[in-house]
Amino acid sequence: MAQRPNLASLGDLDLASLTAAGDQAAFGALMRRHGPLVRGLVRRMGAQGCTADDIAQDAFIAAYTGIGNYRGEGSFGGWVCRIAGRMYVRKARHELRCQLTDQPIETGEAAGPEPGLLMDLDAALKTLSAAERVCVSLCSGAGYSHPEAAELLHIPLGTVKSHVKRGLDKLRQRLETGRQESANA
Amino acid sequence: MRDDLFEQEVAGLFAAAPAFDDGEAFVRRGLERLAAYERLRQRVLISVSAAAVLAAVLMLARSPLWASLAAKSAGIGTLIANTPLTTWCVLAAAVAGVALLLNRQALTR
């Protein structure tokens, strides 16, 4: 009788092959390995708690049904992140639509965490508008190109670029501030 | 150039996944939903197959071959041959619909 391999020690492509052959335990190992990345991305895009987990699980189920399309060219987690990003946008499109197309409102200093707190990506993302957060998350987190993000969000390419630019500028400012504060502490 | 470097840095920060305390619960629930999805998919297949079989029976029932057979026999054969087209369509749709409704919870559970 063939001995079952230790799933945790297998690579993504091997686990995907086992999954394609109907091994759900192998898919569980993929979920265990890449779940935090996908859950983190959906939360960083703006989804909350259970909704974020539902979207992440839906993305994994979609990956399961299309597992034959995974060729191992990138990480499995990155592939599922792209699916999850698309799913979040579809789910939240109605809420996002007006925020994505509206001109940004200059409110001066964006609301951020209290001074003195150690800044990290999650805290810095909270200082971005919903549109900026979604665009930055799609392009930097889920690996979408600007044109792909524009197509997904149904907004002009220039709008995506400006949201990403503004978002990254805010992130840079916040992250640098946080680093300075932690260096001084 | 500086922007590109920072964009890469942000991509690296995104790649560092946050830690979740309930990782196993997430996997368990995901696998449960996956199993439910598989069950639903199989039932949809069965429903569609049942509808296809009914459609085939319908076509046979309306064919001249069946009519000639029905003419030689009585009872159920005649009943099938005389059932209107609309009734067969409704019956086929009902079988598929009821099967889907019964399993709808599998999607949302």
Select the more confidently predicted residue: A122 or A55. Answer: A55
Q: Are A48 and B44 in contact (CB under 8 A)?
A: no
Give the nearest chain B residue to A171 (CA atoms): B10
Out of A53-67, A134-148, A159-173, B66-80, pick the least confident. B66-80
Q: Which residue has the higher pLDDT, A92 or A117?
A: A92
- This prediction has a pTM of 0.73
pLDDT digits (tens, 9 = 90+) for A71-94: 888 889 999 999 999 999 998 877
Mutate to test the interface with A, among B4, B31, B40 (most CBs of A within 10 A): B31
pLDDT at B67: 64
The ipTM estimated for the assembled molecules is: 0.75
Question: What percent of chain A clears pLDDT 70, i.e. is strictly above it?
Answer: 85
* Residue to substitute from A44, A45, A60, interface B, most B β-carbons within 10 A: A60
Q: Please identify, in words, the CATH class of the domain defined by A102-185.
A: mainly alpha
Tell me which of A98 and A106 has the higher pLDDT.
Answer: A98
Asked if residue A185 has pLDDT above 90, the reply is: no
Q: Which residue of B has its CA nearest to A22?
A: B38
Burial of A106 by CB count in 10 Å (0-12 exposed, 13-18 middle, 19+ buried)? exposed
* A24, pLDDT greater than 80: yes
pLDDT in tens, A128-169: 999 999 999 999 999 999 999 999 998 999 999 999 999 999
Specify the domain boundaries for CATH 1.10.10.10 within chain A: 102-185
The answer on pLDDT for A41 being more than 90 is: yes
Every domain of chain A with CATH number 1.10.1740.10 lies at 9-92
- Give the range with max mean pLDDT: A21-30, A108-117, B43-52, B94-103: A21-30
Q: Residue B16: what pLDDT?
A: 83
A168–B7 CB contact, under 8 Å: yes
CATH 1.10.1740.10 for domain A9-92: yes
Q: What is the pLDDT of residue A101?
A: 60
* pLDDT at residue B8, rounded to an integer: 85
Contact A121 B14 (CB under 8 A): yes
pLDDT at residue A82, rounded to an integer: 93
Name the residue among B81, B99, B10 with its Cα closest to residue A120: B10
pLDDT, one tens digit per residue, over B17-51 is: 788 888 899 999 999 999 988 888 888 888 777 77
Residues from chain A that touch B24, judged by Cβ atoms under 8 A, are: 32
SS3 labels along chain B: CHHHHHHHHHHHHHHCCCCCCCHHHHHHHHHHHHHHHHHHHHHHHHHHHHHHHHHHHHHHHHCHHHHHHHHHCCCHHHHHHHCCHHHHHHHHHHHHHHHHHHCHHHHHC
